[in-house]
Chains A and B, each alone.
Chain A
């Protein structure tokens, strides 16, 4: 194993160990069910915001976004914009009322608001689908990081991440997870900030520019291993050495490509000399100048895609179970709002750095365009920019540590929220059941991650957001703001949105997709599924107007009245085991 690989492995190991240690400290503090599920609602806005940002900035999103920027340029910036804007929607419509509902999970909220066990069960299923769908890329990302950095097989990364997450969650529940995730957020920020500053300094001092009508060039002699079939495009003649199958013919030796499209099959090794123009994947900007410009693709479809991404991100964030459960740990509705604003600042800052690193990776690691592993861009930029040497290796190790923190924090947040739902809705038991629930909620996605081929984060992450946006967003928004919502209407809306988005997800993951607007909507179903879910929910409620809960006014009042009027009881108190954990975490 090479030195940089060893450095990265050590860094990842340290993160895992430190996370486990911090988590184990939480065990001493966690005494009650309330501690386990919502940290007894004693988490301060700053700590809570760190934890939310920590678990929201998944490896899938920050690695995936950098990779998208490397490939697609400015158009990829809509993803982080949508992800951050989701928190604006949260603070506008959901944060404070959701906290004041006193419910602990979305199913709990649904039942508290609409008194429907059926709706609660449907919501439980949705939470599990969303959670497991989102855990999949997280765990696979751990495998990707390990493979990219150390050449170890991916399954080791997946298994290790799953085990560490499980231990952290079982150890201390939500309270210790809060500490762990807050720590992991600051680690991630550091891991992005330092390399970004160093590499940006290098870039500026080199007086290079992206504004040129040519593709990026390989900075040095580069060997690219193609692991999946790719179709590449070149705008000028390109020569390289190839071993494997190119354009359908077995090749051993030099190859010359004329401008146009060329296929490279899996298990082919390409060797490019320094200064060779980089072939780019089909459908992405070929020259740096195109890459700089917005709307580089087909305008109609691209507009459709951008708006769908915006809708999914804007409305989907509020439906992510691990984000929602975090709001229940706030002290009150006011704190929930302030937490969200701090989160806006934190993840906005991080995505700025991700954008910078993603753009710089076009210079320093363009070979990823050829191999298709663009998700590894952030991981490779530091070593590529600084060259072989301890500074580069250490920065690479730092980035690896940040990536590991990202996998662990998001995964553990998801596992906690899933376990919370399983624990309260499916298993209905004592603390032992929480641990069993945690095992269940992490083992299943681990098995999926090991058995399914990894897909680009840019595909899987927005799909999860779309599912969340078309199921929980209408339920939460209408449940909080519209007194006319009925249980039947809510069920109709969740089912319509869920079926539309999940089936679109399934089709886009497992079937060939037409390259037109239909295909775009299958990849990015939010633009259709979300309005459909809202409509179904509203129409369904209007049709069943007679069944508006009698207590609806009181329920709405509880959601909106400031705490100082004392109208917002905590449902979690049902789970109180007797101890009254007052102030511990601040």
Chain B
């Protein structure tokens, strides 16, 4: 789901924030997009940096997983939503990574973060954009040489992610599941990851439930998380490029499935990188976590729960969302090795996606699009909503008007009413001075309930 979400916003265009990053997809654009968003640009950047760093650190492992995941995604995606959309999503996502990697070289901090992102991204995206991206990826990742930086981040990432569990878990989850399965064999070698994975799992659980409710992502998440932890550790920056080799993370195992796809050179790279990665993880974790936790956790939480902006963005970019959905499915299709690049891209987008998921907007996409684009279904839903609300409002207004409007006539036609004492007060005084206020309050309260129910039904209907 998360991946879908990420992908969706870019394509959607409606939301300024979402659209910005995705359209730019180019390396530079990715960064720019992050900065651009008025809302939470700061947190977005941080998040991206974290993920990039993690990705770099565990790139090797993730790549292996990615390969698996990618196939899965392609298979699952179509079934649930539309296959075609999924690919587009991956495409946009990919561009994001490149920029980050570039950045990494330039900025020390950025480098570390990029590594993380790649790792996370890989798990989710692989299935969709495997082939095309794999080629370029190696180069990108290599710059990411950041490996050293990445390695440290990876351990930290899990921890850092934990605070905002829902987001991290969701984004990474889809891709991760596949990776987990694959990595299962290969990962073992990586000791550091386990701890991270465990943390991620603990954290992830909360996040997953929402995802599950929303869409596929949930299931994958649990599986994916373990892999993620391992992936970061195993394949830092160096491997990311060798996504196809994704096998590399696991070393021997990955080779079985993904190796074929990945270029030999990549594999070699991954292997080399892996060792360093493993070593680094231990020291790295502390440093990485420290960075992420302080700044990111809070922003993320706030954004996720409170961010109103994000939800709107998703609906706007329905097509993108659809694309994202396929990606989310990957967990199922984990078997087929995807391209690493897609994963990286996915990771970048994931941040946004997660937000959307929480609100549960992800599913509604198609219907929301219907409504926005004025299709017959959308037209029907809209007129139905407005008609029901108007009908409710008019009924209440008519009741209030008739009740209040008849009183002057009653007082005029039956002066005796003015002589009646009730509760020690003259009836007109009691009616107009006291009882009318609870009456109006009750009508207002009742109407609010009715109107909210109508909206609830509409939203539920649209989102089903």
Contacts and interface: CB of A to CB of B under 8 A. Distances in A.
Interface stretch (B60-68, B161-169, B307-315): B307-315
Interface in A532-563: 553-554, 556-557, 560-563
Given A85-B440, A88-B444, A576-B38, A566 B314 contact: yes
Contacts of A391: none
B458 A562 contact: yes
A560 to B, nearest CB: 5
B408 A348 contact: no
Contacts of A87: 440, 444
B451 A96 contact: yes
A561 B314 CA distance: 15
A352 B306 contact: no
Nearest to A341: B444
Interface stretch (A105-113, A146-154, A258-266, A330-338): A330-338
A208 interface: no
Contact of A553 (B379, B436, B444, B455): B379
28 contacts: A77-B429, A81-B436, A91-B444, A91-B448, A92-B444, A93-B397, A293-B415, A293-B418, A294-B411, A294-B412, A295-B411, A295-B412, A299-B412, A303-B408, A306-B408, A344-B437, A344-B440, A344-B441, A348-B440, A352-B437, A562-B455, A564-B311, A566-B316, A566-B368, A567-B368, A569-B312, A580-B40, A582-B302
B418 A567 contact: no
B386 A348 contact: no
Nearest to B424: A204
B372 A567 contact: yes
Interface string A24-35: 000000000000
Query: Binding site of B, secondary structure by majority: helix, strand, loop or mixed?
Result: helix
A580 B382 CA distance: 32
A511 interface: no
Interface in A313-341: 314, 331-332, 334, 337-338, 340-341
B374 A565 contact: no
Given A89-B397, A344-B441, A565 B315 contact: yes
Nearest to A562: B455
B311 A92 contact: no
Interface string A478-504: 000100000000000000000000000
A292 B429 contact: yes
B252 interface: no
Interface of B: 15, 38-41, 302, 306, 308, 310-316, 359-361, 364, 368, 371-372, 374, 379, 382, 385-386, 389-390, 393, 396-397, 400-401, 404-405, 408-409, 411-412, 415, 417-419, 426, 428-429, 432-434, 436-438, 440-441, 443-445, 447-448, 451-452, 455-456, 458-459, 462-463
A283 interface: no
A554 B374 CA distance: 8
A566 B448 contact: no
Given A77-B429, A352-B437, A582 B306 contact: yes
Given A294-B411, A355-B433, A565-B315, A84 B385 contact: no
B208 to A, nearest CB: 21
B307 to A, nearest CB: 9
Contact of B361 (A295, A351, A553, A566): A566
Contacts of B368: 565-567
Given A88-B400, A562-B456, A566-B359, 18 more contacts: A74-B433, A77-B432, A88-B444, A88-B447, A93-B397, A294-B411, A294-B412, A295-B408, A302-B412, A310-B405, A332-B308, A344-B440, A348-B438, A355-B429, A356-B433, A359-B433, A556-B382, A582-B306
B39 A580 contact: yes
Nearest to A349: B437
A74 B408 contact: no
A345 interface: yes
A203 interface: no
Contacts of A93: 393, 397
A557 B302 CA distance: 28
B432 A81 contact: yes
A306 B411 CA distance: 12
A310 B403 CA distance: 12
A303 B408 CA distance: 7
A338 B448 contact: yes
A389 interface: no
Given A294-B411, A562-B458, A564-B360, A337 B452 contact: yes
B459 A564 contact: yes
Nearest to A300: B412
A115 interface: no
Contacts of B386: 481, 556, 560
A573 B441 contact: no
Contacts of A564: 311, 359-361, 459
A43 B361 CA distance: 25
Decide if the interface of chain A is mainly helix, strand, loop or mixed. Answer: helix
A582 to B, nearest CB: 6
A268 interface: no
A41 to B, nearest CB: 9
Contacts of B418: 74, 292-295
A293 B444 CA distance: 29
B92 to A, nearest CB: 19
B411 A583 contact: no
Given A84-B436, A93-B393, A348-B441, A563 B308 contact: yes
Contact of B302 (A348, A568, A583): A583
Contacts of A553: 374, 379, 382
A473 B457 CA distance: 28
Given A292-B429, A295-B415, A557-B382, A307 B441 contact: no
A248 interface: no
A78 interface: yes
A449 B32 CA distance: 54
A514 interface: no
Contacts of A578: 38
Given A85-B404, A554-B372, A560 B312 contact: no
Contacts of B390: 481
A177 B396 CA distance: 33
A562 B386 CA distance: 11
A91 B40 contact: no
A532 to B, nearest CB: 19
Contacts of A352: 433-434, 437
A573 B38 contact: yes
A345 B429 contact: no
A557 B411 contact: no
Contacts of A306: 408
B378 to A, nearest CB: 8
Contact of A566 (B312, B389, B417, B434): B312
A337 B392 CA distance: 14
B413 to A, nearest CB: 9
A251 B302 CA distance: 77
Given A92-B393, A310-B405, A583-B306, A340 B444 contact: yes
Nearest to B390: A481
Contacts of B312: 563, 565-569
Contact of A565 (B364, B396, B404, B428): B364
With most chain A CB atoms within 10 A of its CB, the pick from B361, B374, B385, B448 is B448
B433 A77 contact: yes
Contacts of A356: 433
B311 A566 contact: yes
Contact of B458 (A348, A561, A566): A561
Interface in A67-90: 74, 77-78, 81, 84-85, 87-89
Contact of B404 (A81, A338, A576): A81
A352 B440 CA distance: 13
A292 B421 CA distance: 11
Contacts of B458: 561-562
A349 B433 CA distance: 10
Contacts of B438: 348
A334 B372 contact: no
Contacts of A557: 371-372, 382
